[in-house]
Amino acid sequence: MRQGQLDAETIPLRLGTRRSALALAQSGMVARDITERTGRPVELVEITTYGDTSREHLAQIGGTGVFVSALRDALLAGRIDLAVHSLKDLPTAAPESLLLAAVPPREDVRDVLVSRENLELAELVEKIQDRPVRIGTGSPRRMAQLNAWAREHGAAIETVPIRGNVDTRIGFVHSGELDAVVLAAAGLHRLGRGAEISQYLAAQLMLPAPGQGALAIECRADAPELAAALGVLDHPETRAAVTAERALLAALEAGCSAPVAALAQAGGENELRLEGVVGTADGATLLTMSTTGPLALGESAEQSARAIGLALAARLLDGGAAGLMGERA
């Protein structure tokens, strides 16, 4: 082995990450996996994004991309070698100069309730009779589905827009300001805080965001050797699922400000089942459709997964989805 190659393999890879506790936990997990699988040391480089510093609600500041652009700028400028994102934060259109090198195995895709007295949603509604149950979330998707559930069950619920990290959001419950908050199961699991979950919300009640529970590892397109090395962390089944979900999202031209949900899962041998929901934030109308399509093997898997997403998006648009989404971000 030549000295130059040896030096390159011992120089730490610079992994860009947001500064939040969750982002650091996720990036630390990826860093350990990279070192274990490739032998390369990895150091975390903390980067502050606009989404971390702004106090506006996500729908007001553009939603998708606000947690990503600073990391991508650092990648393109060569200040870091790779970046780790929550996949649901990635815009559906990627710069040609960057590669999605790996999508590791997905965590639990479900949303969860963290509530006062550890009560489930139906129990909260039954217990609190003198006023609406106050539930915090920064997601129009979650608001739409919570409000739809409330309409269906004749329940009094008030969805309250909130921002902040996991501690801040759960703190609204502990302080009594809110009765519950809705969070992603994956984040609480990665933080080792699963014991705080009061209820896992079934997909029939709360379909997740496209890409929820998955991570994205990006590097520059002009670093093919690094991309190939990072590829050992890729999980083909997860990549196919999120490809279908994100294709649907892209075709609907919807960002975080629009109530859109999607979940792709294995529908049988070499098949993928995709469900999508588009609705109004008040829950008055939810358009739900699903489709199952063949999933090719190998390099063609992404192409066939994308076709499934586009097919369902076309059906949703034909069914009136565009009229339900309101103004796009």
Instruction: Indicate if the alpha-carbon torsion angle 69, 75, 79, 85 is positive or negative.
Output: positive
Burial 277-294 (b: 16+ CB within 10 A, else e): bbbbbebeebbbbebbbe
* Selection from 306, 294, 291 nearest residue 270 by Cα: 294
* Selection from 72, 19, 84 nearest residue 48 by Cα: 19
Contact between 263 and 208 under an 8 Å Cβ cutoff? The reply is yes
3-state helix, strand, coil in the chain (%, to 5): 40, 20, 35
Which of 52, 81, 89, 167 does the annotation list as catalytic?
Answer: 89
89 is catalytic: yes
| Half-sphere exposure at residue 127, Cβ-oriented, CA atoms within 13 angstroms | 13
Contact between 275 and 262 under an 8 Å Cβ cutoff? The reply is yes
Q: How far apart are CA 202 and CA 198, in angstroms?
A: 13
Pairing of strands 133-136, 180-184: parallel
Q: Which residues are catalytic?
A: 89
